[in-house]
Structure 1
């Protein structure tokens, strides 16, 4: 179990001197994740800007675990908490989007996807309406090639700035990102700080209509007012995750306070006070039942991080049907 945040910060002592960002020992992760569940992080660091983040990475020894989170929308934290530091990019230092030209936008990694869509609308740049319906930030979109409404992030990326574990800066091209469906091949320890994205000139009325269509679709078919992490599983080749979940009889399925939404059964929701264990156990129950019903192995789209609480471990597919 975690909870040794003060000791961790004290151990590093002078190494952290001079940092301008905020350090919070024993940070409650349920306060910053959309599921509102899970344990504490030993410590949370919110860097002031890219330079401050680089200084932090250079200061923290490699044997101390680091985990980067965004706005917490696509994240399930386990009840045992997260050892080491969680890095959460600040809105002030990494949360702005601005037009660079008639077709290009620069966005910080902590910029909500919806804000990028809004900036594109204001600048008359088409091709970003799909971000209006993705409940995340640009850093996560870059990492997982987020997409919706027939458009993916990889279609918009020109270049990405990232820092490695030693605080060295890398400027990555679209080809360097190694994109595939809901995946990039960039090293896991790279932290994206900003990106240049490219669309195309388009009149604002057309862009607004496309964004309104995205919003209407979300409100009609997705449980957007619930405590949810968005799509739980990636779509298998040739079918949709929700169809397979539905065929396996898992629409509305509950484990404790966790439920597969009756409205959209690829959305997992916290109906009240669900624990991280209940949410993950529900997800693995669904995976096991879909595998048994159709032979399809669903893959998580939600990122699960941290340690299990002792005695409350969850095995993949519940340890069955492997």
Structure 2
């Protein structure tokens, strides 16, 4: 259901109609949000959702790294958590409390300075705490479920709730976060370690990413989930898709589980290329690749 100007509640933060989303996502493609809401604080978000017609769809947007926004744009409200939610504070010698808008780099750097190990892998994930919690984000042998204690969410009803890690029923790149819930904070637990050792691990991870991934390109990160017993990039490569193009979209030559906007790709180009890769992999190996990148909105 679309939300008319008359039906949208007043806010203390920033509410923008027909807001272009392409500048806010890594692919730099796609349509506009019917409404883009940047709440001033958790109370602003909670009050807005409580007053908004329950039929109006709501989705959260972090750094836009793992997302294809289709060319027809997104109906309803897109919520973007800004600086008010980009906080990280130390609770004790091994625990951090983080806002839902805090980046992986901020969280891992704060952990390093506090001598908290085990969170280094967040340095390598181009997203925010809200996205990590929702998708069980992971890399280099670690996942969010390994470090999460609990998360704070605002439900679609506007109710605020704290969920334990057990209540999210994590599996690979998936949680059972309630539909429409927005993660506004999370508590992460690590272990005591020397800041120099933590920095060394972060440097190792950063160097590995730089060497293997097309970080300077307009991309969306890992495109497909790794199927059981397989590496997605290897299946894509074996299906002859390295460098494959469709419109302005291309399968990365550097890492075949990354799609790239070479300059003027539409979201339709990018998604169609991904579907063609899935078809070729299925034909070659019989494996059905599943999208890891989220695809939202209407076709253009």
Same fold (TM over 0.5): yes
Deviation at 1:208, TM superposition (A): 0.6
2: distance between equivalents of 1:27 and 1:10? 14
Structure 1 contact 232–302 (Cα < 8 Å) conserved: yes
Residue aligning to 2:42: 50
Paired residue for 1:298, among 286, 289, 299? 289
Residue aligning to 1:245: 236
Deviation at 1:10, TM superposition (A): 2.4
Over aligned residues, Cα RMSD in angstroms? 1.2
The answer as to 2:29 corresponding to 1:37 is yes
Paired residue for 1:16, among 9, 14, 20? 9
Which residues in structure 2 correspond to 1:68-83 (within 5 Å)?
68-83=60-75
Deviation at 1:16, TM superposition (A): 2.1
The answer as to 2:194 corresponding to 1:203 is yes
Give the unaligned 5+ runs of structure 2: none
1: distance between equivalents of 2:275 and 2:18? 29
Paired residue for 1:163, among 142, 154, 177? 154
Paired residue for 1:265, among 256, 259, 266? 256
2: distance between equivalents of 1:28 and 1:246? 34
Residue aligning to 1:28: 20
* TM-score between the two structures when normalised by the length of structure 1: 0.91
1: distance between equivalents of 2:135 and 2:153? 15
Paired residue for 2:277, among 277, 282, 286? 286
Residue aligning to 1:314: none
2: distance between equivalents of 1:43 and 1:168? 21
2: distance between equivalents of 1:86 and 1:97? 24
Residue aligning to 1:135: 126
Give the total of aligned pairs.
300
Structure 1 contact 95–107 (Cα < 8 Å) conserved: yes
Aligned CA distance change for structure 1 residues 94 and 119 (closer, same or farther; 3 Å): same
1: distance between equivalents of 2:238 and 2:275? 16
Paired residue for 2:77, among 82, 85, 97? 85
Deviation string 1:82-136 (CA, Å, 9 cap, x unpaired) is: 111111111x211111111100001111111111000101100000110111111
- Larger mean CA deviation between 287-296 and 60-69 belongs to 60-69
Residue aligning to 2:86: 95
3-state SS of paired residue (1:230): coil
Deviation string 1:207-257 (CA, Å, 9 cap, x unpaired) is: 011000000001100000100110000001001000000000001110011
Structure 1 contact 9–25 (Cα < 8 Å) conserved: no
Give the unaligned 5+ runs of structure 1: 310-322
Deviation at 1:9, TM superposition (A): 5.1
